[in-house]
Structure 1
Amino acid sequence: MKRFLLSILFIGMFFNVNAQFPGGLGGAAKKPAVFGRISAVILDSLTKKPVDYATVSLIKVKDNKPVNGSVTDPSGKTTIQNVAPDEYKLRVGFIGYVTKTVLVTTTPAKPDNNLGTIYLSPNENTLADVQVEGTKAVIENKIDRMVYNAEADGTNAGGDATDVMRKVPMLSVDIDGNVQLRGGAVRVLINGKPSGTMASSVADALKMIPAEQIKSVEVITSPSAKYDAEGSGGIINIITKKSDAQGVSGTVNASAGTRQNNGAFNLTAKTGRLSLNTALGTNLAYAQKSRVAFENITYLNDGSVSSVLQDGYSKWSRNGYNGSFGLDYDFNAYNNISSSVKYNNFSNGGPGVSNYLRNGESFTNKSDMDMGFNNLDWNVDYKKTSKREGEEFTVSAQLSTSRNPTSFSNEFIPAGETSGPVIPTNNTGVNHEYTAQTDYVYPFSKATILEVGAKGIFRNLNSQFDDSEQDFEYNQNVAAAYGVISFKLSKKLNFKGGLRSEYTRIDFNTQTNGLQKNDYLNLFPSAIISQTLKGNATLKLSYNRRVQRPSYVFLNPFLNDSDPFNLRQGQPNLKPELSDNLELGYSTYIKGSVINASVFYRRTADVIEGSVSSFTDENGATKTLSSYLNVGTAQTYGANVFASYNPKPKWTLMTNLGVNTYEVSNSETGLSTGTFLNYNIFGRSAYGFGKGYNFELFGVVNSPRRTYQGKTDAMIFYGASFKKEILNKKGSIGINTLNPFTRDLHIKTVNNAVNGLGTLYQSTNIYYPLRSFGINFSYSFGKLKFTEKKKIKNDDIKQDQQQQGGGMGGLQQ
């Protein structure tokens, strides 16, 4: 352990040296303060869309010699750093476009020059193929990730992040909002960093984010060692709408519908080297009845039967709001500091009524639930670059604190009575998390790049109850260090590999076992080889090892008896999941069409799953307990195919098919589930009629899902939208619908378990009100230029993917 901590200290000292001597390994001299930068945004002159990967060259006027260059990013933006004061020609070119040259001058008094928007004109041979009026590409394929551009999909308006996730290729989302990536657990980031809103329940957190605030969703199946090792299936990164422009720019979105109402506002003001941004969002879901029919039968070993039948509804409303403020300041061309604060507040709950029949005895339970959540994230980031293009040193710090109060009550009314005793319960969860991180990137050349870094995460989780004897405190500290190297094996063959080391120390207290401690050290290698083929095709082979640590909800031993016959409890002694992932992928572009295919294998040890069991309470009554277990080892084989095709210039067809096996075995317990096949199908059709009119249809089919104890039925979602651009294409107004022909989505889950009491059969039927109709409005003002800032990424905690609560089985709208 001492050697490990010393190694991290050594790396930190190494970073400090490079910060003081910006030349780093190359020993470059200190840069003059007058060096500046030249920036611009490159757009297609007809479609006004960004030109991605356009080549930009900076040439001195006096000798006509090139001095620097770059390529544009997906938003069309380009920035050339370390520019000495002089007169230059900026030359921009791309296949299919006429090369354009712009004169630009920088001076010691004004070393930076923002050229604004530069338009490239398609050449004559390309004009016939240009889609002047149509729809923006919704899916982009990159070497290490697939990007779903949510802002280009009109069917998202009026929904929340859960609705968006249902349409992202390779993801599957169940009725409660639990997200899986190709059958494996995922880590969800927001703008490349963790958020306290995800700490207790991903499903709840996704419902807090209006769809109108989401720009895109990145699906990363092969993260490098630079990322935290969390997420056996991979990483999902939600990018929210931002802007970075001289002057003032922003967006306004509003939607109203039969299921929920959303509002979102984003504003950025930038002058010189200072940029300020703020965002506000709100959502309000109407209270709608969700019906739950529950059957719980235990066949006891003595030949008797204990049964509980339940039928009723919950009528929960949901509302929330969030706000953020950030600033970004460039001291000069090489030093930048940024800071942001984000606050989320979310609450849901409401009354419910259930009729019970227990071993022939009938009664009614009137329940009421109030669940709240508020979270504050504060980030501070410093970045230092150098004259050497690509060299970068960063130091980041993050504070995240959240509070999660929950209160519920049950009133049990015997048959023939009008009232009964009311039993209240209150619980407050508090989470504090502190993170410090430093990273250094050194390019030996354009093709050979070294990345190293170190990180520390300090967590304190505390759960407080009415009965102080059941209070639960959990501390987790993680120290990590990594190194990544990327280089070319040949002209068309690239390699990127690395190793991450993570040391974890845990201590927690329980009423029965007192203080317990545990620590472990894990190594996480990763490697990816990519081959460029003819015809813009790419073949890649990747391997990585991942971990999935249980979080607070999995570990909390408090007995939640909001439903008196179906109790919930965490398991403090859960082990982390460890998985090894191997993937072979292929992608190609054929005359505007996109095909991406992959096959993968994943082996996961100590798989964590929910479990149900029967037990007898102090009064001799038979009840069920829902908890979590390390059930065994899973072997998963799978494949994914994504395709996009344009039958006509204004018509886009898109589909994604994912399949994977499910199999869990445990040699100690003799458990073997056998092999089952899961699948996910997504389809989309978008058509642009011209003059700003667009129409879209989509559908999603999730196959039945297996666990080691049971099965959940298949789910189908479908919807449509119609949108019209207005206000000189700066605004739009539209209508949309989700599952218009069926009010409720019927989901049936069956579990079977054998324990010391006997055999348990449990069946749950949920009727969830999903049908909705809505109208939405969007408006953008100013010049929008998106940029990404380096942020802390805590990717190491397995988040709850079960709705927590009582009453009607914990179902939330």
Structure 2
Amino acid sequence: MRMLIILSFIFISGNFISQIRLNGQIFDENDKSIELAEVLLMTKDSVAITSTLTNESGSFTIKNKDTGQYILRVKYFKNTLLNLNITLNGNTDLGKIKVKGNNFLIDKVVLEGKKKLIERKVDRLVFNVENSVSAAGGDALDALMVTPGIRIQNDQISIIGKSGLSVMVNDRLMQLSGDDLINYLRSVPVSDIKNIEVITTPPAKYSAEGNSGIINISLKKAKNNSWNSTFNTSYRQGFYGMGSIGGLFNYQKNKLALSTSINYLNGAYFSEENASIFYPENTWNNRNRYKNYQDNLNLRVSMDYDISKRWTTGFQYIGNLSNPNVSERLNTDILGFNGQRTNLYTTGLNRRDNDLTSLNWHSKIDLDTLGRKLNIDFDYFNYKASNNRDYYTKTTGSFINGIEDGEVFVNNSSLQKINNYSIQFDIQHPLKWMKLNYGSRLSFSTTNNNITLNRISENKTELDDFRYKEDVQAVYVSGNKSFAEGIWDVQLGIRAENTQTNGTSGSLNETTKNNYLKFFPTAYVKYKPNKKHTYSLNYSRRIYRPAFGQLNPFRWYSNDFAYSTGNPSLMPVFVDNLEFNYSYKENLQTTLYYSYDSNNSSRVVYFDENTYNQISIPLNYFDDYSIGVKQLYIFQKLKWLESTNQMDVYYFHSNSRIYPITPRSSEGIGAVVSTYNNFSLNKEKTIQIGLNFQYFFPRKSGDLVENKGMALMGLSSKFLFLKNKLLVALSVNNLLKSFDYNTESYRNNIYNQYNGYFDSQYVRLSLRYQFGSDRPKDQMRNVGNKEERQRIN
């Protein structure tokens, strides 16, 4: 790390070392200067080193570090006007250069066009949200729900057929997970999103965190010398109602760019979770109902300032205050084979108070005119989560030894505090024969958990404290090379991450330490023989570290017979991804993929047939691989219809490490089909409707669970008024009212069934009004310590 910092300062100092200057003036045949001509300095192999544009007088200046033989190329839009072989031995003035042609005056250029809804690039799929009717008027979570290949289940975002992934905003990782990530995504309106990138094999530049890839949310940008503002509000009616209101303000003038955003969400949504557990002597039927209150305030402020033409610096603040309280009603019926029946009725109230603060300082420095750049980010992240849960359980009609009739009063409370500091250096270093990119990152995280279990009816109290420390040092290097005028493109990279962890449990009086160094290679090859056909082959290795809350060993009770606990010995998951992609005219895209998960983890529910305890604990308990094919077809032959259709079919195989607690192995075929259709009802396309449908075929998953089939259908409409400044959107989600999950499995040779529903059937009405000199931009800074924030749970 020290060496990298020294090298960074050497590069900065290099700005003051004298460079060779190449000057000239470009004129047409009529001796008129040509403005905005592109002048490129290229190697003898036609690799561009640097370029510039001519000014009003046709003059240009190019700086170069090395002497030697070069090609000077002059272009005007798509036309090459001149190729000139030159020798640089020192400062050179080419004087007046005449090129052929005499019509280089452009009075006005108007470019109009609409991006495709879906685009395929070498290492990612791009979903242009601004063209989607289904997502119009919603938030970032709604946009992800209609993004092809993405699945949101139990507040977990994943790629279909794979496990969880990481979320970025503007190429910077967000360090949130679970409810906090979902709440944050609900605070970002769709009107502020340009596109969503699904990156299944991320380059070495990105953190290796995220076992199946990264989702990158790109926010819109504003033009220079403009201000703009957006007001947005929406109301969603499901079982309960939920409303939001917010606004954006952006200002850009000369050297200063300022952006602010505030959004407030309030309301509630209904959820239910049902389980049937078939013990040898009796059956437990659990029916749980929840009212999930939402009270969320999100504030973002960012400012950037151009200190000079080569140096831009700025800061970003993100604050999130939320009180996602939960009211519970849990009913358990225990049925004996001789007609006996015991009932456990539980009511509970979770009072939660979450406070999130994120600060980022960043600098971007152009080290020279050859394209070398240094990016520095320093991030601070603080998160406090207080959870105070009271529950009351009444037991009647007991016929089982160890379960007595009576009443139980319990208070279960916790306080979690997370601090993270990180600093990151990224250097772009183009060479004559390749584009080089390298950098490093240091991250320091501490987590303190204090939990209390107070059995009021028994006058018993249990206390626990769990402290966790994690430090990560990472370095990476990658290189990109184009061949044969861009027909071939190759990129290779490697990232090394050294991790030290220390977890201490007060109640167990145990300390768990880990120290490991891992390497994460990446490789990309793209072949594009013409405009119609594109082929690419990609490989990457990833890591998925456990969420901080999954490491705490203290018990969190639902009732006296069901509790969840963490595992301080939980290890990260390692994943290898390999993809082959073929694209024809961007309308037909085929992907073949292979993914192998080593030491994979998930929660396992232990069922004790003697005590009837149901214990949920995260374990590294299986290895799995999947092989699949994705087929994407975009129909755009009718002006009034845009249809995106996708099919994903995969085979998976999983081996358990904890047999016979789970089955020894599992394998099967899974498939998902989806269609997203946008209809324009007038020529101006100010009235549009959308119809979406997804079907998940019955399938098995890597965690040795059977998943039943599920169909999702949605309708949407969008209306634009007042010269497109006012948008009114109406949508209906999950028309068929499908479960959000519906599974069955065996644990300890005990058969169990689970299903859940999270108020996903709803109607939403949204309004958005834009005013100012340009379309809105959110100067959202993607912070460098995202991966730690994503694991706070």
Q: TM-score range by the shorter chain?
A: 0.7 to 0.9
Task: Quote the residue 1:264 is aligned against.
Answer: 246
1:225 maps onto 2:207 in alignment: no
Q: How does 1:61-210 map to 2 (within 5 A)?
A: 63-64=33-34, 68=38, 87-88=57-58, 93=77, 120-121=109-110, 137-157=116-136, 159-180=138-159, 182-198=161-177, 202-203=181-182, 205-207=184-186, 209-210=188-189
Distance change >3 Å, CA 196–CA 734, structure 1 → 2: same
Residue by residue over 1:468-501, the C-alpha shift from the partner in whole angstroms, topping out at 9 and shown as x without a partner, is 8421111110001111111124331111101111
Match of 2:598 among 602, 605, 610: 605
Contact 1:147-1:219 within 8 A present in 2 as well: yes
How far did residue 207 of structure 1 move? 4.7
Contact 2:621-2:656 within 8 A present in 1 as well: yes
Task: Quote the residue 2:278 is aligned against.
Answer: 297
Task: Quote the residue 1:324 is aligned against.
Answer: 300
**Which structure has the larger Rg?**
2
Task: Quote the residue 2:523 is aligned against.
Answer: 527
Q: Which moved more, 1:237-246 or 1:198-207?
A: 198-207
Task: Quote the residue 1:430 is aligned against.
Answer: 417
Match of 1:750 among 741, 744, 747: 744
Contact 1:646-1:652 within 8 A present in 2 as well: yes
Match of 1:587 among 583, 590, 604: 583
Q: Residue 708 of structure 1 aligns to a residue in which SS?
A: coil
Q: How does 1:458-473 map to 2 (within 5 A)?
A: 458-466=444-452, 469-473=463-467
Structure 1 gap ranges (5+): 1-7, 36-56, 71-79, 96-116, 123-129, 300-304, 805-813
Task: Quote the residue 1:408 is aligned against.
Answer: 389
Q: Residue 460 of structure 1 aligns to a residue in which SS?
A: strand
How far did residue 169 of structure 1 move? 1.6
Q: In the aligned structure 2, how far is the partner of 1:381 from the partner of 1:146?
A: 28
1:683 maps onto 2:683 in alignment: no
Structure 2 gap ranges (5+): 41-49, 61-74, 80-105, 399-404, 454-461
Contact 2:157-2:164 within 8 A present in 1 as well: no
Q: In the aligned structure 1, how far is the partner of 2:37 from the partner of 2:192?
A: 40
Task: Quote the residue 2:232 is aligned against.
Answer: 253
Task: Quote the residue 2:100 is aligned against.
Answer: none
Task: Quote the residue 2:441 is aligned against.
Answer: 455
Match of 1:441 among 428, 440, 443: 428
How far did residue 728 of structure 1 move? 1.1
Q: In the aligned structure 2, how far is the partner of 1:58 from the partner of 1:198?
A: 56
Distance change >3 Å, CA 306–CA 558, structure 1 → 2: farther
Aligned AA (1:599)? L
Q: Residue 325 of structure 2 aligns to a residue in which SS?
A: strand
Aligned AA (2:327)? P
Task: Quote the residue 1:48 is aligned against.
Answer: none
Contact 1:82-1:387 within 8 A present in 2 as well: no
Contact 1:580-1:602 within 8 A present in 2 as well: yes
TM-score by length of 2: 0.82
Q: How does 1:356-367 map to 2 (within 5 A)?
A: 356-358=332-334, 360-367=341-348
Residue by residue over 1:706-736, the C-alpha shift from the partner in whole angstroms, topping out at 9 and shown as x without a partner, is 2434223233222122222111122222322
1:784 maps onto 2:760 in alignment: no
Q: In the aligned structure 1, how far is the partner of 2:35 from the partner of 2:56?
A: 13
1:763 maps onto 2:753 in alignment: yes
Aligned AA (1:614)? F
Contact 1:58-1:66 within 8 A present in 2 as well: no
Q: In the aligned structure 1, how far is the partner of 2:368 from the partner of 2:257?
A: 23
Match of 2:475 among 481, 500, 508: 481
Task: Quote the residue 1:657 is aligned against.
Answer: 647
Q: Which moved more, 1:697-706 or 1:639-648?
A: 697-706
Task: Quote the residue 1:388 is aligned against.
Answer: 369
Distance change >3 Å, CA 21–CA 576, structure 1 → 2: same
Residue by residue over 1:99-146, the C-alpha shift from the partner in whole angstroms, topping out at 9 and shown as x without a partner, is xxxxxxxxxxxxxxxxxx996357xxxxxxx98xxx763222222211
Q: In the aligned structure 1, how far is the partner of 2:38 from the partner of 2:779?
A: 22
Contact 1:267-1:278 within 8 A present in 2 as well: yes
Residue by residue over 1:756-809, the C-alpha shift from the partner in whole angstroms, topping out at 9 and shown as x without a partner, is xxx3222223344322223222222221386988854446569569xx7xxxxx
Taking every aligned residue pair, what percent have the same amino acid on both sides? 19
1:369 maps onto 2:350 in alignment: yes
Distance change >3 Å, CA 773–CA 537, structure 1 → 2: same
Aligned AA (1:448)? M
How far did residue 450 of structure 1 move? 0.7
Aligned AA (1:465)? I
Q: In the aligned structure 2, how far is the partner of 1:313 from the partner of 1:200?
A: 18
Q: In the aligned structure 2, how far is the partner of 1:787 from the partner of 1:89?
A: 36
Aligned AA (2:311)? N
Contact 1:210-1:262 within 8 A present in 2 as well: no
TM-score by length of 1: 0.80
Q: Which moved more, 1:380-389 or 1:330-339?
A: 380-389
Distance change >3 Å, CA 69–CA 205, structure 1 → 2: farther
Q: In the aligned structure 1, how far is the partner of 2:177 from the partner of 2:287?
A: 32
Contact 1:82-1:333 within 8 A present in 2 as well: no
Aligned AA (1:15)? S
How far did residue 199 of structure 1 move? 7.6
Residue by residue over 1:589-628, the C-alpha shift from the partner in whole angstroms, topping out at 9 and shown as x without a partner, is 1xxx622211111222101122111248xxx732111111
How far did residue 449 of structure 1 move? 0.6
Q: How does 1:549-568 map to 2 (within 5 A)?
A: 549-568=545-564
Distance change >3 Å, CA 788–CA 582, structure 1 → 2: farther
Match of 2:257 among 275, 279, 285: 275
How far did residue 180 of structure 1 move? 3.2
Aligned AA (1:603)? Y
Aligned AA (2:228)? S
Q: In the aligned structure 2, how far is the partner of 1:657 from the partner of 1:379?
A: 40
Q: Residue 163 of structure 2 aligns to a residue in which SS?
A: coil
Aligned AA (2:324)? N
Q: Which moved more, 1:519-528 or 1:359-368?
A: 359-368
Distance change >3 Å, CA 745–CA 514, structure 1 → 2: closer
How far did residue 190 of structure 1 move? 2.4
Q: In the aligned structure 1, how far is the partner of 2:667 from the partner of 2:679?
A: 41
How far did residue 385 of structure 1 move? 0.9
How far did residue 419 of structure 1 move? 9.9
Q: Residue 197 of structure 1 aligns to a residue in which SS?
A: coil
Q: In the aligned structure 1, how far is the partner of 2:617 from the partner of 2:552?
A: 10
Q: Residue 587 of structure 2 aligns to a residue in which SS?
A: strand
Match of 1:639 among 598, 612, 629: 629
How far did residue 648 of structure 1 move? 1.0
Q: How does 1:209-220 map to 2 (within 5 A)?
A: 209-220=188-199
Task: Quote the residue 2:83 is aligned against.
Answer: none
Q: In the aligned structure 1, how far is the partner of 2:208 from the partner of 2:479?
A: 17
1:350 maps onto 2:337 in alignment: no
Distance change >3 Å, CA 206–CA 558, structure 1 → 2: farther
How far did residue 372 of structure 1 move? 3.2
Count of residue pairs the alignment pairs up: 711
Q: In the aligned structure 2, how far is the partner of 1:795 from the partner of 1:673?
A: 35
Q: In the aligned structure 2, how far is the partner of 1:341 from the partner of 1:369?
A: 29
Aligned AA (2:563)? L
Contact 1:254-1:264 within 8 A present in 2 as well: yes
Aligned AA (2:390)? S
State the Cα RMSD in Å. 3.4
Task: Quote the residue 1:574 is aligned against.
Answer: 570
How far did residue 524 of structure 1 move? 1.1
How far did residue 656 of structure 1 move? 1.7
Q: In the aligned structure 2, how far is the partner of 1:795 from the partner of 1:233?
A: 16
Contact 2:621-2:657 within 8 A present in 1 as well: no
Aligned AA (1:502)? E
Q: Which moved more, 1:234-243 or 1:12-21?
A: 234-243
Distance change >3 Å, CA 788–CA 280, structure 1 → 2: closer
Aligned AA (1:191)? N
Q: Residue 508 of structure 2 aligns to a residue in which SS?
A: coil
